[in-house]
C-alpha cells in the first residue's frame, strides 16, 4: 500500500497525458472544509508530485455540495494562545505558497461554493475555471467572521483582479457568481458543466501565462497609488463603522498595504484580531446561523414545487417573487390584475438586480404567474395567505381555499401576530395551518419564523421548516403567542425610542445612538419603514394597555404613516429618510436605555418557552432585526457585560 492509498480525504489519479487529477472529498462530511488533517494530506500529495512531477495538476471536488466552503471554523474556536493563532495562519500560508510555486501548471475546477480558504487555494493555482450554473459562488467572507484571509488571499487576489476590486471583495465578504468571476478576471473562463473536464484539460495543456491585473487595478498594488487606495478604503470603513466595532476590516487594509498581504509579518495584529471579542462573537453568530440552517434540512420531506400566494401586497407579492427566484412555480392571487401588477413589476426589478443575466431573469419571471381566479390552488404544494391582519377575513379565505387544496398541501399564514388557534377555527383540518412569518423586505431579511400552536404534533412545522430552507431562508421555530419572537422584542424597543422623542430628543439623535451601538438603522427609521400604523398595532398588542407615545399618536392623527406615506418621524424622498444634523448632546447611556426593553423582552420569550433556548433567541433577534452581530446577540451581550462587571471584584 502506498502513502497515497492511506489518504482519507484526497484521491490522486493520473491520465494518459500525464495530467494529475486531485479530488478533494472530505471523509465524514457533507462539505469540503480545510482542516489540519486535510491540509496535512494535501502536503503529502505535493510531496508525491514533487518526486514525479505531472504534466499538470487539476484540483476538483468530490462533493455535490461544491468545491471548498473554507476553513473548518471549529478549529478557530480552539485557539487559546497567540502561538496557536499564528500557527494556524502559517499552516495555510506556507502550504498554499508551496502549491503556488510548483513548476507544473495547476488549475482549480470550481463548481458550487468556493469560499474563504477554498478560494485562497484556488488563487494559489495558475488557472481557475468556474461552472456556469446557479450556485457557483467565489468569496473571501472572513471579515464576516471578524478575521482576515490569511492564507494568501490578501496577497494574490489584488494581484489577480486589481487592488480596488479585491479590497471590495475582502472588506464586504460579497461573493461573485460565475458571470462576475469571469468578468473580474477571478476566473479564466466560465464553462457549461458538461464541458468542464475537457476545458480543464485544454487549459492546463495550453501552458498559457497566468492572468494578472492590468491598468489602474494593477498599478494600485504599487506605491504611490497603493497608499491612495488604502486611504480611500480606510475612510469608507470609518464611515460605515465609526466606533471600530469590526477591527478585521482595517486590519485587512493594513496587512495589504504595509505587509504585502502576509499577516505573519504582523504577529501582533494576528493576536489582536483572532482573539478579539468581535471574532469570538461573530464565530458564535456563524454557528447560530448554521443551527438555523439545520432546521431547514428535514429528512423525508419532499420539496415543494408549486407555491400559491394569496395577497399581492408588499409582503405577499415579494414572497411570491422570492419563491420564483428560487426555482419554484408560483401563482399569485388577488382581487384583480390591477392589484397584482405592482408586485409583478417589483419581481422583474428583483430578478434583474439579482440574476444579472437577462435569460435567467426572464426564466424566473416566467415562473411567476398572475392568478386572479385562484386556479393555482388545486395544484399547489403550499398555499400562503398574506392578506390584512383581520382574523375574520383570514378565516373566510381559508374556508374557500381548503376544499380546493390537495389533501397533502400545506396551508400557511404570514400573520405577524395573530394566534394560530384563533385562525384555525372552522377549518376541517386545523393542524394543516401553520405560521410562516416573513420579514420586510423579503429579499433582504434572512429569518422566517415558523409558528407552531400548542398541541401540534410537529410534522407540519417540520414541513414548513423544510420549505423555508428550500428557499434559502433561516427557519426559526416559535410557538404561537402575540408577536412571536421578533415583533415581540422590537415593539418595546421602538416604543422606548418614541418615548425619548416625547421627552424632547430629536429623532436623529435617538437613531444615531443606536447606529453607533451597531444597529443597521435606528429604531425610529425602522418604525417609519415598517409603518407607524403597524407599529401602533404591535404596541397595543404587546404593551399591556399602556398609552401609546404622544409623538406616535400625533403623527397618526395627521396621516403620517412613515415611508409609505412620505412622512413619519422623517420626510422620505426617493425611498430614503431626510435627516438633519442631530444634536451632539444625547444623554449618556441612551443606547443602553433604548436597548434594555428589547433584551428584557427577549429573556421573557425564552422563559415563556416561545423560543426553545437563549441561543436560538439570540439568533432570531440578530437575523430578524439586524441586532449588532459583533455583540453575539442581546442575551449574550447582557451576560458578557455582566461578566465584565464581575471580573474586577473577582480579581480583588
Instruction: Enumerate the active-site residues.
Output: 120, 142
d(CA 253, CA 260): 10
- Give the Cβ contact number of residue 78 at 10 Å: 8
Cα separation, 346 vs 349, whole angstroms: 5
CA dihedral 498, 500, 506, 507 (to 10 degrees): -30
CB 635 within 8 A of CB 599: yes
Cell of 533: 400604523
Please give the Cα distance from 137 to 67 (Å, whole number).
10
- In degrees and rounded to multiples of 5, residue 572 shows phi and psi of -110, 130
CA gap 492, 348 in Å, rounded: 36
Phi, psi of 381 (to 5 degrees): -85, -25
CB within 8 Å of 209: residues ≥ 6 apart: none
In three-state secondary structure terms, 372 is coil
Q: How far apart are CA 394 and CA 385, in angstroms?
A: 8
HSE-CB of 482 using CA atoms within 13 angstroms: 11
Residues in the chain: 652
| Grid coordinates of 371 | 392568478
Which candidate, 6, 89, 95, places its Cα nearest to that of 59?
A: 95
DSSP state of 581: P
3-state SS track over 448-493: EEEEECCCCCCHHHHHHHHHHHHCCCEEEEEECCCCCCHHHHHHHH
CB atoms within 10 A of CB 179: 17
**Helix (H) / strand (E) containing 8:** none
Give the bridge partners for 450, in sequence order. 436, 477
Q: Which three cell numbers stand for residue 94?
A: 506556507
Query: Helix, strand, or coil here: 20?
Result: strand
Q: Between β-strands 368-370 and 106-110, what pairing exists: parallel, antiparallel or unpaired?
A: unpaired
Residue 151: phi, psi to the nearest 5?
Answer: -105, 25
Amino acid at each position: 500500500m502506498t502513502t497515497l492509498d492511506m489518504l482519507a480525504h484526497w484521491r490522486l489519479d493520473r491520465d494518459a497525458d500525464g495530467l494529475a487529477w486531485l479530488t478533494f472529498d472530505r471523509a465524514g462530511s457533507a462539505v469540503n472544509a480545510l482542516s489540519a488533517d486535510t491540509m496535512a494530506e494535501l502536503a503529502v500529495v505535493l510531496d508525491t508530485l514533487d518526486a514525479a512531477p505531472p504534466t499538470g495538476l487539476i484540483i476538483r471536488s468530490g462533493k455535490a455540495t461544491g468545491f471548498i466552503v473554507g476553513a473548518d471554523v471549529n478549529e478557530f474556536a480552539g485557539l487559546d494562545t497567540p502561538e496557536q493563532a499564528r500557527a494556524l495562519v502559517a499552516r495555510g500560508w506556507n502550504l498554499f505558497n508551496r502549491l503556488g510555486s510548483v513548476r507544473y501548471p495547476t488549475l482549480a475546477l470550481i463548481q458550487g461554493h468556493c469560499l474563504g480558504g477554498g478560494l485562497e487555494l484556488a488563487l494559489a493555482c495558475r488557472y481557475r475555471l468556474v461552472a456556469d450554473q446557479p450556485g457557483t459562488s467565489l468569496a473571501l467572507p472572513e471579515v464576516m467572521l471578524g478575521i482576515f484571509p490569511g492564507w494568501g488571499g490578501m496577497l494574490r487576489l489584488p494581484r489577480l483582479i486589481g487592488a480596488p476590486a479585491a479590497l471590495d471583495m475582502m472588506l464586504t465578504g460579497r461573493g461573485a457568481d460565475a458571470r462576475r468571476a469571469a468578468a473580474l478576471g477571478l476566473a479564466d473562463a466560465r464553462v457549461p458543466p458538461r464541458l468542464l473536464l475537457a476545458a480543464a484539460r485544454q487549459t492546463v495543456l495550453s501552458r498559457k501565462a497566468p492572468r494578472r491585473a492590468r491598468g489602474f487595478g494593477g498599478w494600485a498594488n504599487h506605491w504611490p497609488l497603493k497608499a491612495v487606495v488604502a486611504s480611500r478604503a480606510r475612510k469608507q470603513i470609518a464611515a460605515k463603522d465609526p466606533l471600530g466595532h469590526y477591527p478585521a476590516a482595517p486590519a485587512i487594509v493594513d496587512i495589504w498595504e504595509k505587509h504585502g498581504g502576509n499577516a505573519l509579518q504582523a504577529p501582533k495584529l494576528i493576536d489582536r484580531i483572532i482573539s478579539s471579542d468581535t471574532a469570538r462573537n461573530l464565530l458564535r453568530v456563524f454557528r447560530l446561523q448554521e443551527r438555523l440552517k439545520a432546521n431547514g434540512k428535514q429528512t423525508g420531506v419532499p420539496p415543494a414545487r408549486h407555491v400559491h400566494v394569496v395577497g399581492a401586497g408588499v409582503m405577499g407579492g415579494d414572497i411570491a417573487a422570492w419563491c420564483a427566484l428560487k426555482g419554484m412555480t408560483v401563482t399569485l392571487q388577488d382581487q384583480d390584475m390591477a392589484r397584482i401588477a405592482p408586485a409583478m413589476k417589483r419581481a422583474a426589478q428583483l430578478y434583474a438586480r439579482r440574476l444579472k443575466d437577462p435569460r435567467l431573469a426572464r426564466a424566473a419571471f416566467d415562473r411567476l404567474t398572475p392568478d386572479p381566479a385562484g386556479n393555482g390552488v388545486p395544484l399547489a404544494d403550499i398555499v400562503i395567505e398574506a392578506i390584512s391582519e383581520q382574523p375574520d377575513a383570514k378565516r373566510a379565505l381559508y374556508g374557500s381555499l381548503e376544499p380546493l387544496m390537495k389533501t397533502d398541501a400545506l396551508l400557511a399564514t404570514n400573520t405577524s401576530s395573530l394566534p394560530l388557534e384563533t385562525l384555525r377555527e372552522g377549518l376541517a383540518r386545523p393542524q394543516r395551518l401553520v405560521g410562516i412569518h416573513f420579514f420586510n423586505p423579503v429579499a433582504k431579511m434572512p429569518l422566517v419564523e415558523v409558528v407552531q400552536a400548542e398541541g401540534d404534533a410537529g410534522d407540519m412545522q417540520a414541513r414548513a421548516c423544510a420549505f423555508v430552507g428550500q428557499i434559502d431562508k433561516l427557519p426559526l421555530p416559535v410557538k404561537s403567542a402575540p408577536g412571536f419572537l421578533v415583533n415581540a422584542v422590537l415593539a418595546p424597543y421602538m416604543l422606548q425610542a418614541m418615548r425619548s422623542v416625547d421627552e424632547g430628543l430629536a429623532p436623529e439623535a435617538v437613531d444615531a445612538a443606536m447606529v453607533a451601538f451597531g444597529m443597521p438603522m435606528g429604531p425610529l427609521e425602522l418604525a417609519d419603514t415598517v409603518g407607524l400604523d403597524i407599529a401602533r398595532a404591535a404596541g397595543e398588542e404587546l404593551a399591556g394597555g399602556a398609552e401609546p407615545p404622544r409623538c406616535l399618536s400625533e403623527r397618526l392623527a395627521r396621516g403620517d404613516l412613515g415611508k409609505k406615506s412620505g412622512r413619519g418621524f422623517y420626510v422620505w424622498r426617493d425611498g430614503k429618510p431626510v435627516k438633519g444634523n442631530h444634536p451632539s448632546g444625547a444623554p449618556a447611556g441612551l443606547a443602553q436605555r433604548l436597548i434594555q426593553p428589547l433584551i428584557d423582552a427577549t429573556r421573557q420569550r425564552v422563559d415563556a418557552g416561545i423560543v426553545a433556548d437563549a441561543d436560538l433567541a439570540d439568533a432570531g433577534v440578530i437575523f430578524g432585526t439586524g441586532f449588532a452581530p459583533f455583540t453575539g446577540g442581546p442575551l449574550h451581550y447582557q451576560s458578557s457585560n455582566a461578566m465584565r462587571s464581575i471580573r474586577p471584584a473577582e480579581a480583588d
